[in-house]
Amino acid sequence: MFYHFPDFFCQDNKKNINDIEYSMVVTKFSAFPELTTDRLSLRQMTTIDAGAIFRLRSDKEVMKYIDRPLTESIEDAIKWIDMVNEAMLNEEGVPWAICLKEDPTTLIGSIGFWRMQKQHYRAEIGYLLHPSFHGKGFMSEAINKAVEFGFEKMKLHSIEAIIDPRNKASAKALEKTGFNKEAHFKENYYWNGVFCDTAIYSKISPVKKPVLDL
């Protein structure tokens, strides 16, 4: 939904309405926001995780429904870690390593926010988990914690997940954590010689945003 505001509101010394709204979304943190659940630790990724990231993102089964090329080397993994950490420094994303609480140094997956639309209080969530940890509820646990942080600390209003609808496990995890399917686009993107479908899931914050008094 779009609202029209008079032109004078954006001129002279008056602030643009989107600038006011941006200030309410939190994307800058004094320290990395480490999170914990009953079984998991969500922490910052470092180059020490390069081996685990390489094994995860070079696994054809793990990346089967992800429209990104397979990671080909440890060096590629390090570049990817540097890229997501730089995105956080630029306030364009919040990436976490997923670890077991009992072994916080060993990365078993990743989760994070990116493609943030600050003017709409919205961000996209994405995640990967090593196959040996599938079917144990770890992904749902990580999603719940990240979403809680997004709504309560980042002040997001909505979070979306864009998945390949053939990825039944991902859809199940989203539905289990309260996401609703909002759209299904037929063959809307081309990847590896195939036209693929896209499903969009979304979750709305239970916290009501204040109405600006203009």
- Please check whether residue 69 lies inside any domain of the structure: yes
What is the number of structural domains in the chain?
1
Q: Using one digit for the tens of pLDDT, what is the confidence trace for 145-183?
A: 999 999 999 999 999 999 999 999 999 999 999 999 999
Q: Look at residue 170 and tell me if it is in a domain.
A: no
User: What pTM does this model have?
Assistant: 0.86
CA count, 13 A, side-chain hemisphere, 106: 8
Whether 147 is covered by a domain: the verdict is yes
* 111 within domain boundaries: yes
- At 202 the pLDDT is 98
Range of the structural domain that residue 90 is part of = 15-21+32-161
Contact of 24 with 155, CB cutoff 8 Å: yes
In a domain? residue 4: no
- Is the pLDDT reported for residue 2 higher than 80? no
In a domain, 65, yes or no: yes
209 assigned to some structural domain? no
Confidence tier at 12 by pLDDT (50, 70, 90) = very low
- Average pLDDT estimate for 125-149: 97
More confident residue, 21 or 166: 166
At 156, which CATH number?
Answer: 3.40.630.30
**Residue 157 and residue 122 in contact, taking contact as beta carbons nearer than 8 Å:** yes
pLDDT at 17 over 70: no
CB atoms near residue 38 (< 10 Å): 7
**18 has a pLDDT exceeding 90:** no
Q: Decide if pLDDT at 28 tops 70.
A: yes
The answer as to whether 182 is a domain residue is: no
